[in-house]
């Protein structure tokens, strides 16, 4: 497969991947790697497919291989952090996310992933700071507002948590988890009627 054809195959694989056609994308990534085993982006995105398919051990291995081929890719470090976090390897996940940020200090998603790992480890103040950094670099980031609200709720900063949840919902009204978490925070504040309304919204959006 000539280099140009490899690039064309990679672009087609990415199109399939973005469309959610994971099997077709995986086949193309594997064809590329059969001809060019050191193709860092194919390794990285094959690792993403493994993660999306629940094969975290394979995902971590593939993304680490991608990083060994291209050590300066912040997206790969950030995605490695997600896969490691889901495996419960929180210290390693935090290191990977911080490495992503070292390469790209404006990388909102890496701050978000860092915040998730820190929150899961119980380092709530640091998690709050990471989510705020994510929002600073990407103000229209509803998931970052939503998880900021969770971290603030966990530290009993309920007024700020409610504000964060409402900001998440302003950006993404059909966000059942944020409606539910807003309901919890409002209930903890004693605002029961508003809490009930929020829970009804969550259930309407996600009946299960």
Q: Are 28 and 17 in contact (CB under 8 A)?
A: no
Q: Which residue, among 142, 146, 139, 129, has the nearest Cα to 185 in the 3D structure?
A: 146
Position 7 scores a pLDDT of 87
> What span, in angstroms and rounded, lies between the C-alpha atoms of 113 and 120?
11
* Alpha carbons within 13 A on the beta-carbon side of 36: 19
- Taking the model in full, what pTM does it have? 0.90
pLDDT tens-digit readout, 36-69: 998 999 999 999 999 999 998 999 999 999 999 9
**Spatial CB neighbours of 143, under 8 Å, sequence gap ≥ 6:** 112, 168
Fold of 1-71: 1.25.40
Q: How far apart are CA 75 and CA 96, in angstroms?
A: 10
């Amino acid at each position: 497969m000539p280099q140009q054809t490899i690039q064309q195959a990679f672009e087609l694989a990415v199109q399939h991947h973005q469309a959610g056609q994971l099997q077709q994308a995986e086949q193309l990534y594997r064809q590329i790697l059969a001809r060019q085993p050191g193709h860092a982006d194919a390794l990285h995105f094959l690792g993403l497919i493994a993660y999306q398919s629940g094969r975290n051990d394979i995902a971590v291995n593939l993304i680490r291989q991608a990083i060994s081929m291209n050590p300066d890719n912040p997206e790969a470090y950030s995605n490695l952090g997600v896969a490691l976090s889901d495996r419960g390897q929180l210290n390693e996940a935090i290191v990977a996310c911080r490495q992503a940020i070292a390469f790209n200090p404006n990388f909102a998603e890496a701050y978000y992933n860092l915040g998730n790992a820190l929150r899961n480890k119980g380092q709530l103040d640091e998690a709050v700071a990471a989510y705020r950094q994510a929002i600073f670099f990407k103000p229209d980031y509803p998931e970052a507002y939503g998880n900021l609200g969770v971290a603030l709720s966990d530290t009993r900063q309920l007024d700020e948590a409610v504000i964060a949840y409402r900001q998440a919902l302003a950006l993404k009204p059909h966000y059942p988890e944020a409606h539910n978490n807003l309901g919890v925070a409002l209930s903890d504040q004693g605002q029961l009627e508003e809490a009930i309304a929020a829970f009804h919204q969550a259930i309407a959006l996600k009946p299960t």
